[in-house]
Structure 1
């Protein structure tokens, strides 16, 4: 009993430190059974419980006797919270893993996207440059068009003004002609004397003219007689000149008609080409002395122009010194096209008043001098032109080379004339046959020149590939256009040539055309060899496919044009084909390697 009291006392004393922990079970019990209301404790029971608590502090119960039902729920809640945290962390990790995968795929695609972007940017830059270039060219063409329109309007205005001035000058000339007619009665005696003197001069010069084909021994006897005739002509013309100068001391237009009337006694102007004139008589004499004529017809016989060689050295030198610039001017006019003959007065200054009148008078004087020179050629070169007419009409050839030689000789002979068309209009010139001969000769010569240019072409390895290929392509286009132009006019030209006895066999496919096609095949071989060497230098690159396609296109064009290839060109084409297949295989392998790298980067 004493022991029980001691335990109670001890439990009472030790119950105070555990007091803070005890309310938790009681609170849990209250939470578990909220509906139960405890009865009010009695005083005796409260004392007993206090004593028991005091003893329980010193004598605790066994573990089996203690019941702790309130600790299980906090552990379950903590586990649930941990599970939720783990699930949330797992979802975050999955999102991070997916982001990492997307980042890896993006990093693998970035080089391709950068390369594509660089290519597009370079292409865009090229397009911009081409647009700027085209815009500048468009502006330049617009400026040229405006300048051309302005020039055309200026020319029209100038033509209208010149027509007005010409009409005024015609009126003035008619008035001057009326005045000259009134004054011509006073100088009729001088005109008759001058005409008599001119007839005497021509009569004295006629016996001195050599026959069409003479020997060299007939020329030394001519200088004395020619000198005497020239002296007589000078003595006979001196009084007429003095008379005309005394009778016509008024303005220059009034004296122009008497001067033109006294033109026959004036010595003729020198020929356009003095070297040809000096060399023509010996050549003509040599050809006349030969037994048989060569395929080109012989040069013409010496005409009246040889009489001028018989004059004295002093007078002939003075004649040559008189007109060197005029000879050059006439020669340049003869070389130009006939369409430009009437446009010499278009560049005259557009002055007004007396200046424009003086310019028009000078132009009329130049025209008059030109017409006088043409008239002189008609009179003095009549024998030559009639001889050329006979040669052209009787010309018949066996080959086109003979036609080329004949046309060259004919042009050399006609180049002596001041104005070929203007002089030949006064004769029955076979213009159609002469034009056909020239057309055939020039056509054959142009094709022969093209064939020679293609045969002598050499590929320069120092040039860049693009420039070399462009040069070869331009040469082939020239060959192609030449052959196509010949084929277009072949039928009509062949019928016309047959009528004039001109050979036309060279125009067929077996003639010069076959040689041109063979040279185009050789050109294709050089083109393919250059493309093959460039492909070897490029290895594998973006320009490889374009270069290969360019070579194949050119080879196809030449093949269609020439109807096939030779052995060397076919070998070059086969080499290009093998290199093309090899490059295609290498490109496929490279694409497969890139795909594999892309798949590895994605995984």
Structure 2
């Protein structure tokens, strides 16, 4: 294509076409590295010949025309230049790629090494997981076999227990029958002996009929009561973070036990330290029953034999009722001992493991323990058949009730508000009564501290509330606030009074009360001291001389 263009572009004049070809060749040809050698000077003879030759020819015809360029040579040079340019570009690209490869190769080597390490770790993990999977599958098989063996053993034990329960029920029925026969015999003998002493021969037939009827009723009632009852579920103890507890059932607290148609008689009197705080539950008062029985026995001793004004069968009915109550109560106690043994043992473990760091944690624990023990017919009679930690339980109750009483007293004294609508004397009496309660409470606490210090340490019961820096300080501050209110009320009364002997009495009364509180609490705070100064100024203005003499 270049050759065609050159041929077509060749003009008619050879000089112009030669110049154009030379310029194109110069543009396409590379610059030579070395300058071309200078032409050698021709010999002088040639110059002479040209001069002599020019003599004969005109100047226009004497000029030598340059040789026209060879087109094929030009094309060859152009192709060589293009090939050289392509080679140079290729070398440049190769150099760039080599430089980039020199930068990227270390990164790629590191990445390949990291991937190889990950592959090795994955292979090791796969091997380890395969081994673990095999071990777990073997353990599963062993556990399955073990569970099957345990299931078969439990079935055998269940069968043995059912057979033993059937035998035990038969023995229990026979024992209850024998026990009932003994009760019937004792009832009959006691009634016959009593009837011989207190009634005449004319009423013997009536008493005998009454005995038969009563004994038949006793037998029916006792058989109903002798049926075993399921023990109450042990509810979860109150949440406490300061003492460990034994594992207890996760079931909710048990519902109240349904009372039978004929409830068992009241138990013997409980210890005096037991005082339940169940306001919504009707509880038994054993002291009333004990007083009633003692009065009845005393009256029966005072009455002479054969000279009673009571009806013929009244004494026998009393004897029957007393024996019935005692026998039914004993049966109920026996039933609790037999059916609620596990329940009581769990309570024993809770009490033995109880340890506290704050007295506030003792209160809910004692409340929970009393609620659980309230399901028993007779707490003292039932618990004596077990290894019950009586000393620790009594110490916990003593500490809980003592702290609760003192805390209530301190709260009552601190929250006292003087009502201006109330008369002055009644308000002062109320404040004096509260202060006397505080005095007695602290005095009782000091006596309790002397006797219970070692016991509380042994049973891990907190002692900080019994120290002078604990609840005692709060009670003394409450008494100081009472003194401030007391003196302010007297000052207000003196300001409103018109004069008379009552003012002097009020001032003396206020000073005496302030002195008692001052000695009791060990001083006054700023507000109480200001109230005392105000009372002293009012007394001086009213003409009272008792304070000015001090």
Task: Give the TM-score of the pair, scaled to structure 2.
Answer: 0.52
Whether 1:382 aligns to 2:319 is no
- The corresponding residue for 2:291 is 343
Whether 1:534 aligns to 2:482 is no
CA distance 1:296–1:561, shift in 2 (3 Å): farther
Match of 1:503, SS state, is coil
- Specify every segment of 5 or more residues in structure 2 that has no aligned partner in the other structure, as ranges: 1-157, 186-207, 275-282, 301-309
2: CA distance between counterparts of 1:443 and 1:565? 27
CA contact (8 A) 2:222 2:328 kept: no
Alignment of 1:460-475 (within 5 A): 460-475=419-434
CA distance 1:421–1:331, shift in 2 (3 Å): closer
CA drift at 1:474: 0.5
Alignment of 1:488-507 (within 5 A): 488-507=447-466
CA drift at 1:484: 0.9
2: CA distance between counterparts of 1:258 and 1:336? 23
CA distance 1:363–1:531, shift in 2 (3 Å): same
CA distance 1:345–1:572, shift in 2 (3 Å): same
Match of 1:494, SS state, is helix
CA drift at 1:456: 1.3
Question: Could you list the per-position Cα deviations for residues 7-49 of structure 1 after superposition, in whole angstroms to 9, with x for gaps in the alignment?
Answer: xxxxxxxxxxxxxxxxxxxxxxxxxxxxxxxxxxxxxxxxxxx
2: CA distance between counterparts of 1:416 and 1:366? 19
Question: Could you list the per-position Cα deviations for residues 45-76 of structure 1 after superposition, in whole angstroms to 9, with x for gaps in the alignment?
Answer: xxxxxxxxxxxxxxxxxxxxxxxxxxxxxxxx
1: CA distance between counterparts of 2:336 and 2:250? 14
2: CA distance between counterparts of 1:361 and 1:386? 36
CA drift at 1:508: 0.6
Whether 1:326 aligns to 2:263 is yes
CA contact (8 A) 2:269 2:290 kept: no
| Aligned residues between the structures | 330
CA distance 1:296–1:513, shift in 2 (3 Å): farther
CA contact (8 A) 1:296 1:402 kept: no
Alignment of 1:539-554 (within 5 A): 539-554=498-513
CA drift at 1:263: 4.5
- The corresponding residue for 1:393 is 352
Of 451-460 and 351-360, more deviation after overlay is shown by 351-360
Detail structure 1 runs of 4+ shifted over 3 Å in the superposition: 203-209, 248-251, 253-266, 268-271, 292-303, 319-322, 327-344, 346-353
Which of 400, 411, 425 pairs up with 1:452? 411
Question: Could you list the per-position Cα deviations for residues 449-491 of structure 1 after superposition, in whole angstroms to 9, with x for gaps in the alignment?
Answer: 0011111111111111111101110011111110111112212
Whether 1:372 aligns to 2:331 is yes
Alignment of 1:23-34 (within 5 A): none
CA distance 1:575–1:299, shift in 2 (3 Å): farther
2: CA distance between counterparts of 1:346 and 1:331? 12
CA contact (8 A) 2:264 2:325 kept: no
CA distance 1:297–1:376, shift in 2 (3 Å): same
CA contact (8 A) 1:296 1:406 kept: no
2: CA distance between counterparts of 1:419 and 1:205? 33
Which of 517, 531, 537 pairs up with 1:558? 517
CA contact (8 A) 1:476 1:523 kept: yes
2: CA distance between counterparts of 1:208 and 1:564? 77
Whether 1:268 aligns to 2:205 is no
CA drift at 1:268: 3.2
Task: Give the TM-score of the pair, scaled to structure 1.
Answer: 0.47
CA drift at 1:575: 0.3
CA drift at 1:506: 0.9
Question: Could you list the per-position Cα deviations for residues 356-404 of structure 1 after superposition, in whole angstroms to 9, with x for gaps in the alignment?
Answer: 1111111110111111111111111111111111221222111111121
CA contact (8 A) 2:351 2:389 kept: yes
CA drift at 1:407: 0.9
CA contact (8 A) 1:524 1:558 kept: yes
Match of 1:565, SS state, is coil
CA contact (8 A) 2:431 2:482 kept: yes
1: CA distance between counterparts of 2:161 and 2:477? 61
Whether 1:580 aligns to 2:539 is yes
CA contact (8 A) 1:396 1:502 kept: yes
2: CA distance between counterparts of 1:372 and 1:362? 15
Match of 2:542, SS state, is helix
Q: Which has the higher helix share?
A: 1
CA contact (8 A) 1:300 1:384 kept: no
CA contact (8 A) 2:406 2:441 kept: yes
CA drift at 1:253: 8.3
CA drift at 1:331: 12
- Specify every segment of 5 or more residues in structure 1 that has no aligned partner in the other structure, as ranges: 1-202, 210-225, 272-276, 310-318, 588-603
CA drift at 1:533: 0.5
